Amino acid sequence: MSLLWPDQLGVALYPDRLLLARSSGGWRRSLKHKQAIGFAAAEDGTPLWQAAVDALAREVAAGTMAGADVTLVLSNRFVHYAPVPHNDALASAEEQLAFARHCFARIHGSQAEGWAVKLSRADQRKTRLACAMEQTLIDALAKVMAPLGSRYRSLQPHLMASFNRWRTRLGGRPGWFVVAEPGLLSIALLSDGQWHSVRTLKAGPDWAQELPGVLSREELLVGSDAQCDEVLLFAPDAATPLMLDAGKWRIRELLPTLLPGMNAGADAPFSIALGA
């Protein structure tokens, strides 16, 4: 390992598995190690994320992350999202954040009181995306990762990590952005750099065939003013290409960027951990 270019280690956390992908640093990254770690999902009465945090703690204790800069990517099951409209009356960043908290409280009630909230860095004059997760989860991860010190670089929600990767494909045109992970769909409508809507929905094994109908229902919920038939779909866990009877929807699959040493089929899910 080069001291100038330390390895990069990404860990994607799901309710029943961890995906670890370690790559060389520098301009020409290549895959050095990958590992999928399965475990039983959290039992009733414990937080949904507990089993994943416990598995992560075992890997830290085993020295798996030694010598690498580490990024954690959280399944959308652990994160809540809400579009936050621009408000001219909000002058400071603190007021904007308080308004975002109010948006979550209006949707989720008192459950949102223990959540940590962050706003996207989009133009503050436009509707922005707010992400919320349990503060107890953030604290638990900070405790587990403490032995790594400054090597623990960042914590990213899956939807935002994927959007940042593909945002240039959307540009300023209206479009739906769909991120699929096992058992869950995150569906957002964007236009002119603004988040018009975002929802996460449970999904069964036939989600790909049901997606056109799901999009039609979302379109009705959002309203006719924002109708759009363009869809960008990122589904690294799915077999590709997907066989879709899309009807009016123009669905374009976004294929993950794979590093040298990665297999286009079996290794696609690890792209989340790599941020690719």
Which of the given ranges, 1-10, 134-143, 204-213, has the highest pLDDT on average? 134-143
Determine contact, residues 241/252, Cβ cutoff 8 Å.
no
**CA-CA distance, 78 to 98, in Å (whole number)?**
21
**CA-CA distance, 217 to 137, in Å (whole number)?**
32
Q: Is residue 32 part of a domain?
A: yes
Q: Summarize pLDDT for 74-114 with one digit per residue, the tens.
A: 999 999 999 988 777 777 888 888 889 999 999 899 989 88
Q: What percent of the chain has pLDDT over 70?
A: 92
**Closest alpha carbon to 13 in 44, 33, 42:** 42
Q: What percent of the chain has pLDDT over 90?
A: 49
Q: Is residue 124 part of a domain?
A: no
Would the pLDDT of 9 be above 70?
A: yes
Q: Is residue 204 part of a domain?
A: no
Would the pLDDT of 230 be above 80?
A: yes
Q: Is residue 115 part of a domain?
A: no
Is residue 36 packed enough to be buried (19+ CB in 10 Å), middle (13-18) or exposed (0-12)? Answer: middle
Q: Is residue 44 part of a domain?
A: yes
Q: Classify strands 80-84 and 31-38 as parallel, antiparallel or unpaired.
A: unpaired
**CA-CA distance, 43 to 236, in Å (whole number)?**
27
**What's the number of domains the chain is made of?**
1
Q: Is residue 165 part of a domain?
A: no
CATH code assigned at 66: 3.30.420.40
Residues of the domain holding 52: 7-77+135-158
**CA-CA distance, 149 to 88, in Å (whole number)?**
40
Q: Is residue 169 part of a domain?
A: no
Segments of the chain assigned E as strands: 7-14, 17-23, 31-38, 68-74, 80-84, 115-119, 128-134, 152-157, 175-181, 184-191, 194-202, 230-234, 250-253
Name the residue with tokens 């390895």: 7
Using DSSP's 3-state secondary structure scheme, residue 152 falls into strand
